[in-house]
Chain A
Amino acid sequence: MNAGGARSTSAAGSHAVQIGFVVGLVVLWYLAATRWGVSSILLPNPITVARDLWEILRTGEYVDDLRVTLTELAAAFAISATSGVVLGYLISRSTYRIRVFEPLFAAIYSVPIILFLPLYVLFFGLGPPSKIALGATISFFPVVLNTIAGFGYVDRLLITAARSMGASDYQLFRFVLLPAALPVILTGMRMGFTVALLSIIGSETIASLAGLGHRIVHLAEAMEMARMFAYIAFVVAIAAFLNVVVSTLEKRGRRF
């Protein structure tokens, strides 16, 4: 057998292990829920969960909560992306400003910002504004730090060369700075988007009136476990979908 054949055989083996792992988990879950007498409050029957998930999707009862969560996410990300890129660009224009602000932002970023949630709830109430504020705060830092890194560490030689060939400010920005910085900024934006989503669902879980996180907690408190598992699966799928979309956009933008 040649090397390519061996590699594809072992790749098939890896896939088999992966599929086996997932199937094994589901089978264990099913057996635990039906045969081994694990209480349905701790572990609902997977078939009931699947039925509930189907019902949730069919009746569209998720629409209101999904709308709340996505609106919060969009608002938070719009705020953090705009302010992060603008501030990052302004700071990156001088080495002095980079040395003043970059360590400051990096230090704040190392604090778990979720700690501010009680404060934001105090300021903005239990509704969407506190989630938007928290999501925007948390996702601001990866965006601004990556924007500074992207614009601030463009090879000086490229800038000098462009200048000496008579590039205007606009031309310098459009043809030298932006292409060099864009990949790094896009990575920052993707990271910011992911943490914004996480922190918004997290803050909905901790203290809120509506949204997908709130729905899961509500079902947990009502002990409707099968429905809660169905919602968890739904939210995980939504999050995975959004992450794939953002990663694809990032890759597309890099090529540009």
Chain B
Amino acid sequence: MPAAVMQRIARSPGLARLGVIVMLLAIWEAAARWVVDPLFLAPPSRVVTSLGAVLGTRGVPAALQITVFELAVAFAISVAIGLVVGLVVGLHNFSRRSFMPIILLLYGTPQVTILPLFILYFGIGPASKIAFGVTHGMFPIIMTVAAGVQNIKPILLVSARSMGASSVQILRHVIFPHMIPSFFTGMRLGMTGVLLGVLLAELYVSTAGIGYFTTLFTQNFDPTKLLGLISILAAMAIALNEIVRRLEVRFARWRD
């Protein structure tokens, strides 16, 4: 390699990172072509060219739609519950000290152990996935909202009240603006939780969602389509995470 190129790479870590990714893909390609049984691994070049075929498989677009719908509803419910419970628990010292340990305890328990119960209560359709996503997504939002409310300087509340602000005005003009950065942090964590919960439930049992197709492709020893579907889902997850992360960065600055 010419010295100029080497120097350029040495100056820019981004290029080197790209190089690492290309190298990993090349190893994967070589391994899939010449070493590993094609029943188990497909080379990335074929995965990319088969993306069209994956989306063309009957039922896959509908399954992706269902998954997006489940994610959206679960996220919306998580945010609503998280905001309300977080405010109610966080606004008063007594309720915070009483209920935060319970919330932390629930958040800390491995919820995946009760996944079969969700299927039993909510059926094998989207409802159980949404419910399971909500139980994963709401706790981080509750905790960050409660913590955000707690961090408001008491002097702001006192001065607002002494200037005659009503409870609603205090909520609207003092508490909400201060809560916003931590609320968006909570939304980011909540999105991670919702993705985990919905995907876990989808993979566990599914009749028309993406979980059905991952099982189908696995059982048919069709790694090309399986990898294609996983890549689509991973891209979707990255996009959703990136949206809430951007919002978080933006609103964290907004206060200053």
Q: Which of A101, A111, A116, A205 contacts B204 (CB 8 A)?
A: A205
Residues 202-219 of A, flagged 1 when their CB comes within 8 A of B and 0 if not, give 100110000011001100
Contact of B196 among A21, A114, A119 (CB under 8 A): A114
The answer to whether B226 touches A122 (Cβ under 8 A) is yes
**B interface size (C-beta, 8 A):** 48
Determine if B218 and A122 form an interchain contact, defined as CB atoms under 8 angstroms apart. Answer: yes
Do A11 and B196 touch (CB < 8 A)?
no
If the complex has contacts A13-B94, A100-B20, are A114 and B230 also in contact, measured as CB distance less than 8 A? no
* Chain A residue at minimal CB-CB distance from B198: A112
Interface residues of B in 194-225 (CB under 8 A from A): 195-196, 199-200, 203-204, 214-215, 217-218, 221, 223
Structural contact, A118 and B230, CB atoms closer than 8 A = yes
- Interchain pairs with CB closer than 8 A, number: 123
Q: Which residues of A contact B (CB under 8 A)?
A: 10-11, 13-14, 17-18, 21-22, 41-42, 96, 99-101, 103-104, 107, 110-112, 114-119, 121-123, 197-198, 201-202, 205-206, 212-213, 216-217, 220, 228, 232, 235-236, 239-240, 243
CB distance from A214 to the nearest CB of B (A): 11
List B residues at the A interface (Cβ < 8 Å).
10, 13, 16-17, 20-21, 40-41, 93-94, 97-99, 101-102, 108-110, 112-117, 119-121, 192, 195-196, 199-200, 203-204, 214-215, 217-218, 221, 223, 226-227, 230, 233-234, 237-238, 241
Q: A104-B17, A198-B110 are in contact. Are A122 and B221 (CB under 8 A)?
A: yes
Q: Which residues of B contact A107 (CB under 8 A)?
A: 238
Contacts A/B (CB < 8 Å), 19 sampled: A17-B99, A100-B13, A100-B16, A111-B238, A112-B196, A112-B199, A114-B196, A114-B203, A115-B199, A115-B230, A118-B217, A118-B218, A122-B223, A123-B41, A216-B113, A216-B116, A220-B119, A232-B117, A240-B108
Whether A18 pairs with B204 at a CB distance below 8 angstroms is no
Contact of B195 among A112, A116, A122, A213 (CB under 8 A): A112
